Chain A
Amino acid sequence: MATAPATNSLRFLVAVGNRLRVRVGYGAIVIGILILLSAVAPLISKDPLHIDSTATLVPPSWAHPFGTDQNGMDIFARVLYAARLDLGEALAAATLAVLIGVPLGALGALAAGWGDQALLRITESVQSFPTLLLAMGVVAAIGPGLGKLVLVIAAVNIPVYVRLTRSAVLPMRDMEFIQAARCAGLGNIAIVTRHLIPNIAHLIAAQFSINCAWAIQILAALSFIGLGVALPTPEWGAMVRAGADYTVYGQWWVALFPGLAIVITVLSLNELADSFRRHTSR
């Protein structure tokens, strides 16, 4: 069985891909449109950091479709550019959590010894904190910064993958195809990558897209209370924070549009997760 590593990982990707046929629902479509819009943002909008002190707090108009904020920055441009940051950060954090959590959970379930028990206790202790508060506490302790935020958001989500994978793998552990693989001389790691992960890929994909939604919500919430991304960097939560005071006085456009962007994105990601999961129940 001495195949080159390249063919191995290719075979792994094909096996995973084969099991991820999704019915394209509106979730996938909206996310696609969002990614496209944020990619072409420089073509269709202004500079998100351009300060125009002659046009502060302008209501939505043709020149500024979503209006301008207190610094005269164009909100339409900022919402589009923020999609890059928010989606990118969510993808990075969720990917990191999957890459660490899934193999740990699968190996834990296979090894089933003290390592598994230790892993369970650690995930339990992390999960006993409410996610947002835990992220708040950690960020408050280590200080803000985008890289750190990605790490923190990934870290608070790793336990979910560990437990998800573990509970999906446990009933499969003694099935005949795993025993056969073992008889054929495969080690734990080969069994995990070649046989177990492809079979739970849809569950992980569903969790992944929920996880992206959480990551966006956590990042926006952290920025909103002043722990995440700070102005003038375009980020949805920070933009809502900037508009919070003006909303009370009736200048609604500053906070409305970035918040709406969060709602649409998170709603679509949840819908995407549902379509992955529906695939399994059939």
Chain B
Amino acid sequence: MASRWPASAELALAGGFLALAWGLSVGVMAAVMQGTRWDKLASLVTGLGVSVPEFWLGLILILIFFSTLKIAPAPIGRLPAEIVAPPTVTGLYTVDALFAGDWGAFFGAWGQLALPALTLAFVGGAPIARISRAAMREALDSQYVRFARALGVGRVSVILRYALPSALLPVTTMMALLCGYLMGGDVLVEYVFAWPGLGNYAVDSIGASDYAPVMAVVELSAISYLLIYVLLDLAHMVIDPRTRA
């Protein structure tokens, strides 16, 4: 399992960052432009994001970018077939290749990572966008934001300095949920892209009717879930003054 953990971590990091980036920015934009055409478009896209099965979205991306447009590499794991893995430093090929100065491996690893990370990000970012839109909406309607506006604080400043910080609180919770989920390796995305991570390990073992690894992966993600929740509660004590009694 130790050898597969970096693969899952690499995918989780890339997918998680992308998910946060698009989820948060779309959510905030939709809240600011509430009721406009863009807001409706955003709610349609996030609606799709929470409804689409990851494994199917992955297949469709493969179909478009690999089979049809031929700009993505074959979905065969973390590196193209002809490239040797860089010497291990962090276990993340995208970083290790940089340390080794191996540009072939560097671009190869990023190329392989692109589609699975995008799949993960689209599905993971949709609930983040929904939560941040709702939280941002609430913050923008609040008394103190109206007060700041009345004082003549600029529009951008109101959004970024007054409304956004309090809206971030529920977003951290959602992000923690996503992290907890990603820690165990995303079973479905890893399977579709033949990504040699924890999730795929579990699926392979199911195929071989060897259920001990499945249990191990389930246990591991439950434990990381709990750990992340503890960290989240501690973090909220720092971020949210109301919880400091």
Contact = CB atoms under 8 A, between A and B. Distances in A.
A141 to B, nearest CB: 6
B35 to A, nearest CB: 15
Interface string B50-83: 1111011001101100111000001100000000
A136 B213 CA distance: 12
A264 B213 CA distance: 34
Interface string A235-264: 001001001100111101001100100110
Given A225-B203, A225-B206, A255-B56, A130 B63 contact: no
Interface residues of B, number: 38
B176 to A, nearest CB: 13
A255 B59 contact: yes
Interface string A19-42: 000000000000000000000000
B53 A221 contact: yes
Contact of B211 (A140, A221, A226, A255): A140
Given A133-B221, A136-B218, A227-B206, A221 B67 contact: no
Contacts, number: 113
A111 to B, nearest CB: 27
B51 A267 contact: yes
A213 B50 CA distance: 10
A210 to B, nearest CB: 10
Contact of A130 (B68, B180, B206, B229): B180
Contacts of A116: none
B51 A140 contact: no
Interface in B82-116: none
B51 A266 contact: yes
A226 B180 CA distance: 24
B122 interface: no
B59 A247 contact: yes
Contacts of A141: 211, 215
A141 B60 CA distance: 32
B191 A259 contact: no
B202 interface: yes
A267 B63 contact: no
Main secondary structure of the interface of B (DSSP, over half): helix
B184 A130 contact: yes
Interface string B207-245: 100010011011001100110010000000000000000
A137 B218 contact: yes
A177 interface: no
A128 interface: yes
Given A247-B63, A259-B60, A270-B50, A128 B225 contact: yes
Given A248-B66, A259-B59, A262-B56, A133 B51 contact: no
Contacts of A256: 60, 63
Given A128-B225, A224-B188, A225-B206, A259 B63 contact: no
Nearest to A210: B50
Contacts of A250: 63, 67-68
B184 to A, nearest CB: 6
Nearest to B55: A224
A226 B59 contact: no
A249 B187 contact: no
Contact of A221 (B50, B55, B202): B55
24 contacts: A128-B222, A128-B226, A130-B180, A133-B221, A137-B218, A224-B53, A224-B55, A226-B203, A226-B206, A227-B206, A237-B53, A240-B55, A240-B56, A243-B59, A248-B66, A249-B67, A256-B60, A259-B60, A263-B48, A263-B52, A263-B53, A266-B50, A267-B51, A271-B47
